Amino acid sequence: MAKKNYYEILEVERTATAEEIKKSYRKLALKYHPDRNPNDKAAEDNFKEIASAYEILSDEEKRSRYDQFGEEAFNRSNYRDPREAYSNFQQSYHYHDLDEMMDNLRNMHNRSRASERVIANPDIRVVCRLSLIDAIKGGKVAMKYNRIISCDYCKGQGYTTGNSCKECNGQGFIQRQFQTNMFVRQSCNHCQGQGVELIPCSHCNKRGSRTEETKINVKIPPGVIHMSVLRIKEKGNAVYINKSLKVGDLNVVVDYPTTENGITMDNGNIYMSVNAPLDRMINGDTIVVDIGGKTIDVNLDPSKPSGYGYVIKNGGAKENKNAYIKVFAHFPQNSLTDIQRDNIVKSWREAYGESEQIVQPNKS
């Protein structure tokens, strides 16, 4: 690692604070430590340079002399073995190797967070899946879901607090020194950094909360928009946030197929096609379209061709929405006698005239 001076070796500016120097040294020492890089001569040399640089820059008096006169201000015979500075860091915590040190640091982090119980989001989001017919008609839908209920006795913590912790004198941490001018605060193992004795809650068996299955009838409005969210107040999780109980809401996402069995709904409008009996079309009758119990009246116009699209005002799934229905002629499937067929054709041609035998393709 070709560096021009100790500041560059530690990858800091000349104006760096003692804390910045210490932070950079720790990072680089872990990176190049021989235990992590076995049989790597370059890493060992880098580690020695880092330790030597930190030996000078971590001491205010030595740093001042170095800033004035450079490396020549020091007699190399006064240097300690560069491993010694790092070993002090290990020995102060009784570490035997780098892996042990890293494991301990991770454990310290985990312990410091052990008391920070994960708080569930007060609001709950569930999906209600319907058929298209149910979405068109609306109504009540029975649902089951799980919600979290925090323990009122321990306020969702899983423990209650007692007297001041004797191990850390109520501070929540223990301070250790691993070099002349360097101290590290370690979270107290006994109280998990709380500073007080932790007494497991007997009401919730240290869990802090319970899961409760809840049944509810959700009111679905007719023509509900696809993937819309229905908010039901105070039916969510009941959790403590900063020791204050918060009851969230239940958010129900309504999902359904927008097209099903030949019917489409879009923003409350209904689209479909139907086959009407030929005699009803000729007579100009009113047909009734039944959609799972919802009925739509269509007044047929005998002058309109088969496949004509009718617009039924306010015939949609909700107020001010329409139904768009294409009506096709449906011919009876039963067989006719020769006499019946002749009579029908005769009457038809008397009313409409004989049609052309040559036909053209449809343009649409």
**350 to each of 57, 284, 337, 356, how far by Cα in Å?**
114, 19, 20, 15
Fill in the amino acid letter for 8: E
- Which pLDDT score, from 0 to 100, does residue 205 have? 92
Nearby residues of 20 by Cβ (< 8 Å), 6 or more positions away: 12
- Which pLDDT score, from 0 to 100, does residue 153 have? 93
DSSP three-state, residue 204: coil
Torsion of CA 218, 224, 229, 232, to 10 degrees: -30
Query: What one-character-per-residue DSSP string does 241-262 give?
Result: ETTEEEE--EEEEEE--SEETT
DSSP three-state, residue 84: helix
CA 66/CA 70 separation, integer angstroms:
4
- Which pLDDT score, from 0 to 100, does residue 72 have? 67
Fill in the amino acid letter for 244: S
- Which pLDDT score, from 0 to 100, does residue 100 have? 46
Rg (CA), the chain: 41
- Which pLDDT score, from 0 to 100, does residue 96 have? 43
Domains observed in the chain: 6-91 (1.10.287.110), 122-145+213-257 (2.60.260.20), 259-352 (2.60.260.20)
CA 232/CA 123 separation, integer angstroms:
10
Return per-residue pLDDT of the chain as tens, 364 residues.
Answer: 444 588 888 898 888 898 899 889 888 888 888 777 878 888 888 888 888 888 888 888 888 887 877 776 665 444 444 444 444 444 444 444 444 444 444 444 444 444 445 677 899 999 999 999 999 999 999 999 999 999 999 999 898 888 888 888 888 888 776 555 666 777 888 887 888 888 899 999 989 999 999 999 999 999 999 999 999 999 999 999 988 999 999 999 999 999 999 999 999 999 999 999 989 999 999 999 998 888 999 999 999 999 999 999 999 999 999 999 999 999 888 788 999 889 988 998 898 888 888 887 876 5
Question: Is this model's pTM higher than 0.75 or not?
Answer: no
- Which pLDDT score, from 0 to 100, does residue 2 have? 46
Q: Are 156 and 203 in contact (CB under 8 A)?
A: no
Q: What number of CA atoms fall less than 13 Å from residue 281's CA on the CB side?
A: 19
In this structure, how many other beta carbons lie within 10 angstroms of the beta carbon of residue 298?
A: 19
Q: Tell me which long-range contacts 26-34 makes (C-beta under 8 A, separation of at least 24).
A: 29/54, 29/86, 30/98, 30/102, 33/86, 33/98
- Which pLDDT score, from 0 to 100, does residue 65 have? 81
Backbone conformation region of residue 108, classed left if phi is above 0, alpha if psi is from -120 to 50, else beta: alpha
Q: Are 325 and 313 in contact (CB under 8 A)?
A: no
What does the chain come to in residues? 364
